[in-house]
């Protein structure tokens, strides 16, 4: 029957006639049944029988033991079957954890409803245990999630602080670069401009100075076009040589423009190739620098 679906009953009863009537009634309700005639047998098998309700004949207990009832009632319901002589023991058993009692001889309809009530109570208790366990698991999961969130928040705070420091450093570096560029521009341009004031605008010297100024401006522009990664690798003189190389000047022209020897220019080129890890001698330094600037501008 549906109310007793998947439920199991164990019976501890020495009286064969009572045991027979119990067996017939319980099996007619579709219940699985195990029968025991000695208390020792049911004590030995109770952990393996997995019964849901135990019908316990009080007459088989010479002495009442509360610890025994508590042990047997673990995740099952105990219904005490008693005669008039054992009623006082049965009531004490109920106080110690037995579910209910039924007096012999008993009516099968009364037994049916008593079993139904016992099964319903057991199902509710098991559902409550599962719900409590699920709630406890959810609580622990929530605590775990909160702890993870706190860790993530801490990491995010550290990341924000690091980014803030990085932005401040970047801003200071930008300001420093701008000041250096302005100072460099003044140091390069001011002497030539002061000299221009003393020349006739139609003279060859005037035009030569103008050409020098144009080259100096173009050189500054070329240096600024090279990325900051090169500036971190190369010295100032190497940056000038790299910039002029990128613009197409050969060794002799660079030496003349920078007022250094051609051997010094070659040494600078060699150092530039080493620092930029250009190992193949067939690779052009100019092509490498031009492609690097193009990639930077495209990005």
Query: Secondary structure of the chain in the HEC alphabet?
Result: CHHHCCCEEEEECCCHHHHHHHHHHHHHCCCEEEEECCHHHHHHHHHHHCCCEEEEEHHHCCCCCHHHHHHHCCCCEEEEEECHHHHHHHHHHHHCCCCEEEECCCCHHHHHHHHHHHHHHHHHHHHHHHHHHHHHHHHHHHHHHHHHHHHHHHHHHHHHHHHHHHHHHHHHHHHHHHHHHHHHHHHHHHHHHHHHCCCCCCCHHHHHHHHHHHHHHHHHHHHHHCCHHHHHHCCHHHHHHHHHHHCCCCHHHHHHHHCCCHHHHHHHHHHHHHHCCCCCCCCCHHHHHHHHHHHHHHC
Domain spans, the chain: 2-126, 227-299
* pLDDT range class, residue 286, cuts 50, 70, 90: confident
Instruction: Please state, for a pLDDT cut of 70, what percent of the chain lies above it.
Output: 72
Q: Average pLDDT, stretch 86-96? A: 72
The CATH class, in words, for 227-299 is mainly alpha
* pLDDT range class, residue 237, cuts 50, 70, 90: confident
Model pLDDT, residue 188:
63
Least confident of 129-138, 175-184, 243-252: 175-184
| CATH topology classification for 2-126 | Rossmann fold (3.40.50)
Rounded CA gap, 242 and 275, in Å?
A: 12
Model pLDDT, residue 72:
75
Phi-psi category of residue 121: left, alpha or beta, with phi > 0 → left and psi -120 to 50 → alpha: alpha
Instruction: Please state, for a pLDDT cut of 90, what percent of the chain lies above it.
Output: 18
Model pLDDT, residue 223:
53
Model pLDDT, residue 212:
62
pLDDT (tens digit, 9 = 90+) per residue, 12-67? 887 888 888 888 888 888 888 888 877 777 777 766 667 889 888 877 765 545 66
Model pLDDT, residue 35:
85
Model pLDDT, residue 30:
84
Cβ contacts of 273 within 8 Å, gap of 6 or more: 285
Q: Do 2-126 and 227-299 show the same overall fold?
A: no
Phi first, then psi: give them for residue 127, nearest 5 degrees: -65, -40
* pLDDT range class, residue 124, cuts 50, 70, 90: very high
């Amino acid at each position: 029957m549906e109310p007793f679906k998947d439920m199991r009953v164990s019976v501890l009863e020495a009286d064969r006639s009572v045991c027979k009537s119990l067996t017939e009634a319980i099996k007619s309700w579709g219940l699985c049944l195990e029968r025991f005639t000695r208390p020792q047998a049911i004590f030995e098998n109770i952990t393996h029988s997995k019964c849901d309700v135990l019908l316990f004949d009080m007459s088989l207990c010479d002495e009442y033991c509360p610890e025994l009832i508590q042990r047997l009632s673990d995740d099952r319901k105990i219904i005490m079957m008693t005669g008039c002589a054992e009623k006082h023991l049965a009531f004490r058993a109920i106080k110690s954890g037995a579910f209910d009692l039924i007096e012999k001889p008993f009516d099968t309809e009364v037994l049916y409803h008593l079993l139904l009530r016992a099964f319903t109570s057991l199902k509710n208790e098991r559902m409550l245990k599962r719900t409590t366990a699920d709630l406890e698991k959810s609580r622990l999961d929530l605590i775990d999630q909160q702890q993870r969130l706190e860790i993530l928040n801490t990491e995010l705070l550290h990341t924000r602080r690091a980014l803030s420091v990085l932005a401040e450093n970047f801003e200071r570096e930008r300001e420093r670069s701008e000041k250096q560029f302005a100072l460099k521009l003044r140091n390069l341009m001011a002497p030539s401009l002061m000299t221009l004031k003393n020349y006739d605008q139609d003279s060859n010297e005037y035009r030569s100075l103008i050409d020098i100024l144009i080259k100096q401006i173009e050189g500054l522009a070329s240096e600024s076009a090279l990325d900051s990664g090169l500036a971190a690798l190369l010295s100032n003189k190497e940056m000038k040589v790299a910039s002029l190389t990128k613009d197409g000047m050969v060794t002799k022209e660079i030496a003349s423009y920078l007022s250094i020897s051609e051997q010094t220019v070659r040494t600078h080129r060699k150092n530039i190739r080493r620092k930029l890890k250009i190992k193949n001698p067939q690779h052009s330094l100019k092509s490498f620098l031009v492609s690097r600037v193009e990639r930077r501008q495209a990005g």
